[in-house]
Structure 1
Amino acid sequence: MRADAKKNYDHLLAVARAVVKEQGADASLRDIARRADVGLGTLYRHFPTREALLEALLRTSLDEMTAQAAELETSSAPADALVTWFREAVAFTHQFQGVTALMTAALDDPKSDLHASCVTVRAAGARLLARAQDAGKARSDIDGAELFALIAALAWLGDQPSLNRHADHLLEIIASAILTDRAGNGGQAQRRTRGRS
């Protein structure tokens, strides 16, 4: 990419990041172009779809979450690594309101611009969960897909003005429940196959 094209691309992304933080994942592309002082056609040349724009915005954060999971695998105890990453993943979802629904849909759509990044970050969380399970520190009756579902549920809660004051407390309860060997689990439950991370 030429230097001037890269500068324009970076400018569009910076403006888009600000607009999406204000308006959520359904932010107006026309508004992004207007604020960036470019035509809508210029925006579409760089980002042909809304998903392509969101993928570009989210890719850095998702890559950072994946890298953080890898670092936590080697630097922290299994339970601490899992809970730290879980909290960071929930915090990430609050950067852009409504993005969790797009990420969830992208997981099941290999043609989505978000698919690869979402699959990679979910697998990173699943590895941290498996490591904690192998160490006997996390429930054995949960898998990576369910861990992602809990993150999505907490993201939704945080997006609700009437409920978001409970989000931090409920995050702590859920994190504790993931690490707790409940009576129904009894420590003897057959671990599910982790093929569907």
Structure 2
Amino acid sequence: MDTEKKPLRADARRNYERLLEEARRAFAARGVEASLEDIARNAGVGIGTLYRHFPTREALVETVLRERFDAQASAARDLLESPEPLKALKGWLAGLGEQSATYRGLPDLMVDVLNDEASPLYASCHSMQDGVSHLVERAKAAGELRADVTAHELLVLLHALSWASEHLSGDKGLERLLDLVFAGLRAS
């Protein structure tokens, strides 16, 4: 059985790209619960075309976010060379938190999919979790992070902080919350 996808025709590829472009705009303006019908209409296609390319909302969100998630996983690998493991971990989490705040409702969705292996976002999320796991272990080995902290806990906590920062005034909300949390996460 051939498992490779056939290349899209030129018109189908244009539709796919327009749907992604419109989804990025809609998610930024209205959050990840933006109307799929509006996304299709604004992309100039029917809802059936959207569902042919993206059978579920999560599949569309995953495709929109995949590039960002890949960049975050790569950043985690790059930060393994940092001379300050805890600072590198905190910086990585802050970067992910800023990305999570880009689309309203994303933190809620991310927490849900971290435990749902059937979700299209699961593999992308766990790729990032694998990347941050190395940063966590490195900070523990350096004696800078509590030994009982897991990468999964940090990701869930980060998404909670991202959600909370949406409700704080000022542009330093997430950074301030991370400072408070990391004060409690340091090894004694």
Q: TM-score range by the shorter chain?
A: 0.7 to 0.9
Q: Is the 8 A contact 1:122 1:145 kept in 2?
A: yes
Q: Which residue of 2 aligns with 1:25?
A: 32
Q: Which residue of 2 aligns with 1:79?
A: 86
Task: Work out whether 1:138 is the aligned partner of 2:116.
Answer: no
Task: Work out whether 1:6 is the aligned partner of 2:13.
Answer: yes
Q: Is the 8 A contact 2:94 2:174 kept in 1?
A: no
Aligned pair count reads 179
SS of aligned partner of 1:104: helix
In the TM superposition, residue 75 of structure 1 has moved relative to its aligned partner by 4.2
Q: Which residue of 1 aligns with 2:117?
A: 110
In the TM superposition, residue 25 of structure 1 has moved relative to its aligned partner by 1.1
In structure 2, stretches of 5+ residues that fail to align are 1-6
Q: Is the 8 A contact 2:97 2:158 kept in 1?
A: yes
Q: Which residue of 1 aligns with 2:3?
A: none
In the TM superposition, residue 7 of structure 1 has moved relative to its aligned partner by 2.4
Distance 1:171 1:164, change over 3 A: farther
Deviations 1:70-127 (A, max 9, x none): 1111244312221110111111110111112222221221111111011111221122
2-structure distance, mates of 1:85, 1:50 = 27
Displacement over 6 Å in runs of 4+: none
Q: Which residue of 2 aligns with 1:181?
A: 187
Task: Work out whether 1:124 is the aligned partner of 2:144.
Answer: no
In structure 1, stretches of 5+ residues that fail to align are 183-197
2-structure distance, mates of 1:25, 1:152 = 15
1-structure distance, mates of 2:156, 2:59 = 23
SS of aligned partner of 1:68: helix
In the TM superposition, residue 3 of structure 1 has moved relative to its aligned partner by 3.4
Q: Under a length normalisation based on structure 2, what TM-score does the superposition of the two structures give?
A: 0.88
RMSD between superposed Cα atoms in Å: 1.6
Q: Which of 45, 49, 52 is equivalent to 2:52?
A: 45
- % identity of equivalent residues: 40
